[in-house]
Amino acid sequence: MSNIVLISGSPSLFSRSNQILSYLGAKLKEEEQFSVSHILVNEIPLEDLFYGKYDSETIKKIAKQIQEAKGVIIASPVYKASYPGVLKALLDILPQDIFKSKPVFPIMTGGSPNHLLAIEYTLKPLISILKGHSLQGVYILDSQINTEYKNPIIDDDIKRRIELQIGYFIEAIREGKISIPQ
Ligand SMILES: Cc1cc2nc3c(=O)[nH]c(=O)nc-3n(C[C@H](O)[C@H](O)[C@H](O)COP(=O)(O)O)c2cc1C
């Protein structure tokens, strides 16, 4: 059974982006029989992140989980036109090629359409620096999300784009494809 790791980059306890991530993780588990593990930055000990403790037990366990995964989905809010510092604090202390040869599906949620390119200019370059093979990714506005629903995405176009990319993601994992359609 191939393992997928979900990384939630939101510091918020009631996170929209994490709710989308959880929904996708549950779907991949139930419908595609993947095993799924979920890393939340807001559950990592503060000291590990603040002091950059790359050799702490928690950080070593996270690194191993990602290294053993066949694919990664990262969901993050936009903070000041970029990803939150706490997500960068985690990625900074993981090995430099942590996403090597893995498909990585980036998702960003934001309050404003003005920052929809944040995914292109901030999250995708970071995935690439860490040697991941990024999918096109999806930027979702808060107005396209309703956290009261099981599937929190209420916009049909966004739903379709996510489905298409999840399809590419699964194909990349199952067929070991490195070139992913953008
Ligand atoms: C500190 C902070 C900074 C934010 N900065 C932006 C921003 O620059 N652009 C934007 O579109 N939304 C911004 N937002 C809104 C969030 O990106 C948006 O509500 C997102 O869906 C929150 O995701 P979460 O619930 O997973 O944390 C900001 C929110 C916070 C709390």
| Token pair recorded at residue 117 | 């390119």
| 95-143 tens-digit pLDDT | 999 999 999 999 999 999 999 999 999 999 999 999 999 999 999 999 9
Domains of the chain: 3-175 (3.40.50.360)
What does each C-alpha distance from 121 to 5, 28, 78, 111 come to in angstroms? 23, 28, 12, 17
**pTM: predicted TM-score of the whole model, two decimal places:** 0.97
Give the distance (Å) from ligand 1 centre to CA of residue 31: 31
Question: 113 in ligand 1 pocket by Cβ < 6 Å?
Answer: no
pLDDT at 121: 97
The angle formed by the CA atoms of residues 132, 136 and 139, to the nearest 5 degrees, is 115
Query: What confidence score (pLDDT) does residue 168 get?
Result: 96
Nearest-CA residue for ligand 1 atom 25 is 15
- Looking at residue 2, its pLDDT comes to 63
Below-50 pLDDT ranges, the chain: none
Helix (H) or strand (E) holding 90: helix 85-92
E-assigned strands of the chain?
Answer: 3-8, 35-40, 71-77, 103-110, 133-134, 138-141
- 78 close to ligand 1 (CB < 6 Angstrom): yes
Beta-sheet strands, E only, within 54-99 = 71-77
Q: Is the CB of 84 under 6 A from ligand 1?
A: no
Q: What is the pLDDT, as a whole number, of residue 93? A: 98
